[in-house]
Every structure is written in structure tokens, then in C-alpha cells.
Amino acid sequence: MKARRRMIMNYLKQHTFLNVNKLAELLEVSLPTIRRDLQEMETEGHIQRVNGGAFLKNTEVGDRGAAAASPSDPYESHKKAIAAEAVKLIQPGDTLFIDSGSTNSHLANLLTTFKDITIVTNSIGIAYTCMRKPGLSVFVCGGTAEDARSEAGIVGPIAEQMIMQFRASLCIIGTSGIDIRQGITDPYLSAARIKEKMITNSIRRILVTDHSKFGKIHKAYVSPIETFDCVITDWETNAKDIEHLHSNGVKVIQVRDISDKA
């Protein structure tokens, strides 16, 4: 393997994902040279290319980047039921913004039957899942790769600028906090800005959140609740919270427990 390609591998091991512009800058070579290197490295089975960059060809990388719910997640069944309902709102020909998060990782696994769908995401794991499905065109944001445990995904000004280049027919956004007075918030300012850009550049806006996020307030503000056309939540969400959403003109879909066979 050439020295430059070894450097690319080392960079990817450190950062998980890098876009072509950043690689060209780091290695001080042209974009065509980087693209040629990445194409050959993909052919040799070392990496996986996506629109705008590449990551190591390793299933564990995709799983980790998705920040999907682990078996110990007490709300896994809630999130799967919410994802199953959200997928019903996707139409052929849609351009989707899907942000990084565990509920949206479950959603990505349900997109197997769709064709002519464009997905723009800041999640390496969601991109990895969707790019293997025929009929899906996937764009993954370049930028800074946050700690996968934070679920922030790819963030920063580069990612924000890429999102602003698209006009999505639908965004499906997760949240870490939803409060009657304080609206939608996130622990990370960088992740909040990604959500904000996706919301601003979408026609239809869907919020997916399980009941545990209600009443939580984090430091980074995203948007008021009424920004969203629809909130999809689970069967354990408090009736008062549902009533407040309705009073603000927000449609609410409250899913049933899909593990309940009764």
C-alpha cells in the first residue's frame, strides 16, 4: 500500500469518517487524486465510500456510528414502534433529512422497500445502513465526528453548509428533551444547530420521541414545539403532554406497544 493510502487509513482509524475536501487538505493533494485513491482502496476492500467521503469498511463502525439502542435500552421497544409509524409518512420521491439518534437508526432499518428516495443524514451509521439498500440515494454530511455515545453524529459548519444546499420534502428529527415551555432542546449545541438547519430547510417536519424525553430541558435550544407538523410518541406519554401538543396545533400520533399481541 502506498504511503499516502496508509496515511488515509490512519486518519480514518482516528476519525471514523472524513470527507474528501478534508483529506485533500490534510495530505496536500488534489481532489481527483484523493478520489482515485479512495476508489482503489474501496476496490481492495479497505474502505467504504459514500457521497462526499469515506469510512472504514467495518460493520462495527456502522453500528457504532448509528448509536442504535442496545439490548439494555429500556425504551428500545418504544423507539422501534415509533420508527415503524414514522416510516409510513415517507412517500416515493421524498428527499429526507434524518438526524443522528437511536430512534432514527431503527427507522433506517425499515427503509428496505423504498425506491427513489434521497436521504441526507449526519449519522455515519444511518448512512451505512441506507447505502446498502437499492433505491436509496444517500448523502452523508462532512464535518466533525462527535463521540458516538453522544448521538450527535457529524456536526460543525461544514455539515451545516451541506444541509443548507438541500430542500427536503420531509425531516424526521429526534430529541433529547421536549418541554411545554422551553420547546425542543439538546445537550450539545453543535447537534442542536444541525437539527435547526434540517428543520428550516424542510417542508414537512416530524419529531420522533419516546415518553422519557418529555419534561427534560437541555442547554442548547433547537426550536419551539409548534415548529413540527407532527409528533410521534409512544403509549406511555402523559395525557397532559399530548393535550398540550394538540393545543398548539401539533398533530400527535401515539403508537401502541408492538410487542403487545393482545
pLDDT tens across the length of the chain (262 residues)? 578 888 888 777 766 667 788 788 888 889 889 888 988 888 888 887 776 778 776 533 444 344 443 445 788 899 999 999 999 999 999 999 999 999 999 999 998 778 899 999 999 889 988 988 888 999 999 998 865 445 678 999 999 999 999 999 999 999 999 998 999 999 999 999 999 999 999 999 999 999 999 999 999 999 999 999 999 999 999 999 999 999 999 999 999 986 665 4
pLDDT, position 15: 62
The pLDDT of residue 28 is 84
Identify the pLDDT of residue 249.
Answer: 93
Domains of the chain, start order: 3-57 (1.10.10.10), 72-254 (3.40.50.1360)
In this predicted model, what pLDDT tens digit does every residue of 208-250 receive, in sequence order? 999 999 999 999 999 999 999 999 999 999 999 999 999 999 9
The pLDDT assigned to 65 comes to 41
Contacts 24+ apart (CB under 8 A), 37-46: 37/2, 37/4, 37/5, 37/8, 38/8, 40/5, 41/5, 41/8, 41/9, 46/5, 46/9
pTM of the model: 0.73
pLDDT of residue 133: 84
